[in-house]
Amino acid sequence: MQKKERFEKVIEWFEQHMPVAETELHYGNPFELLVAVILSAQCTDKRVNLVTPALFKRFPDAETLAASSAEEVFTYIRSVSYPNNKAKHLVGMATMLLHDFGGTVPDTVEQLVKLPGVGRKTANVIASVVYEKPAMAVDTHVFRVSARLGLTTAAKTPLQTEQQLVKHIPENRLAVAHHWLILHGRYTCLARNPKCESCPLTAWCAYFEKQNKVSARSKSASAAPAKKARKRLK
């Protein structure tokens, strides 16, 4: 199957069956989403959603967070991954947000990545979710699912994955496509044991196609000795 057709079929399925796909992080404004996405690095959204209510109550804006300390922030986020580093990043991010951007979350990837704790993935999430810009954020789910489906080829880095996806997905579908791939990776195309038996995308999946060919060759190889034995018995 040609890559163009694969993209078309996958996008068509998602448009029909998951027209609305959004982040599972809980937030009430751009500042809260920025904090939540920083916390979500190598951590589940479920865990982040458990700690953010108290965190947002104590630090509702950049001003209050910047006036705090990494030690205090740590007490609110101790259960997420890498809490020490994230606490420092959050205070640094709030300080820069306050001093350089007037407390307003910037709307471009170029400005966002200047903030402590904000990499390209986080910047793309904010740009697409908050400002509805045509950006493709690549996390581990997007990276894995894109490769398995065959939407990307030999992509070694998140940036390479992003570049390939942006090239083939229409601009007006990039933001939602990010969530399609994340949710598919989170609940169906699991890292260790993908649920291929219940996956609706197998007809266009390069991984599934390859696995079927390997299985067919294995069955053929195991059947050959038995076939020869039957011939000798005749």
- Give the pLDDT confidence of 69-81 residue by residue, as tens digits: 999 999 999 999 9
pTM above 0.75, yes or no: yes
Q: Is 78 exposed, middle or buried (0-12, 13-18, 19+ CB in 10 A)?
A: exposed
Q: What is the mean pLDDT of residues 104-123?
A: 96
Q: What gap in Å lies between CA 114 and CA 188, rounded to an integer?
A: 34
Model pLDDT, residue 108: 95
CATH of domain 3-13+135-187: 1.10.1670.10
- The better pLDDT of the pair 211, 122 is held by 122
Listed residue (59, 7, 6) closest to 34, CA to CA: 59
Please answer whether residues 226 and 35 qualify as being in contact, where contact means their C-beta atoms are separated by less than 8 angstroms.
no
- Active-site positions? 121, 139
Residue spans of the domains in the chain: they are 3-13+135-187, 30-129, 203-233
Listed residue (72, 44, 71) closest to 59, CA to CA: 72
- Give the pLDDT confidence of 27-41 residue by residue, as tens digits: 999 999 999 999 999
The fold adopted by the segment(s) 30-129 is Endonuclease III; domain 1 (1.10.340)
Q: What gap in Å lies between CA 233 and CA 166, rounded to an integer?
A: 60
Listed residue (179, 143, 145, 144) closest to 159, CA to CA: 143
> What is the length of the chain?
234
Q: What gap in Å lies between CA 109 and CA 107, rounded to an integer?
A: 7
Q: What is the mean pLDDT of residues 53-64?
A: 98
Model pLDDT, residue 212: 83
- Give the pLDDT confidence of 171-215 residue by residue, as tens digits: 999 999 999 999 999 999 999 999 999 999 999 999 999 988 765
Model pLDDT, residue 228: 57
